Amino acid sequence: LLAIAESLFMITSIAFRISLAIFFRRFLVDRTQRQLVLGITGLYCGVAAFAFFLCLFPCGAPVHMAAKRINGKCIPNNWWNGLLYFHGALSALADWFFALLPLVVLWKSTMPARNKLGVSLLMLLAVCGSICAVLRTIYVGSLRFHAAYFDPQHPTYYHTTALVINMAVLELGLGITAASAACLMPLFR
């Protein structure tokens, strides 16, 4: 079940980053900024796609995955956690980039101060999503797949898994909310 949730998170984050890239390319006029958006999106999507397949097939065929993980017949934990740390750091970096890139455009624009304040608040919301990515990355290292982890009576199961899942949901939820609100801004003029 955890492997399915991780895979769905990867697919959702890929779709979200691609939609952000399409959104940003519509109003960025500087070629360098557009290439940065495409580069960061491409790198993130590549790493997330690799992690997606690794989430589904860490032990080969996804049959009896929990037993295989407990018996150590899967990818080693340190290698797996390294990938998740890298993905989390890249996710936070991409979030910060997408949240702060509009500041350059906003600074040069002739928008009224009220509109600039609204856009700045949306960027603040996006940065909060990035903070969730950082917190998720911190807790990922405590996901150790051994027999005690899968025991519901063991406190590690609920505490660690709940923290990682909550941070993942908050990260994407805040990002989607900020992006959706940005699309709604013209309706409030």
pLDDT at 133: 85
Cα(first)–Cα(last) distance of the chain, in Å? 45
pLDDT at 151: 66
Banded model confidence at residue 152, pLDDT cuts 50, 70, 90:
low
- DSSP track, 103-127: HHHHHHS---HHHHHHHHHHHHHHH
CA 52 and chain centroid, separation = 12
> pLDDT tens for residues 94-111?
888 888 887 777 777 788
> pLDDT tens for residues 30-53?
889 889 999 999 999 999 999 999
Please answer whether residues 189 and 118 qualify as being in contact, where contact means their C-beta atoms are separated by less than 8 angstroms: no
Length of the chain in terms of residues written: 189
Please answer whether residues 149 and 180 qualify as being in contact, where contact means their C-beta atoms are separated by less than 8 angstroms: no
Give residue limits of the domains in the chain: 2-184
> pLDDT tens for residues 78-92?
887 888 889 888 988
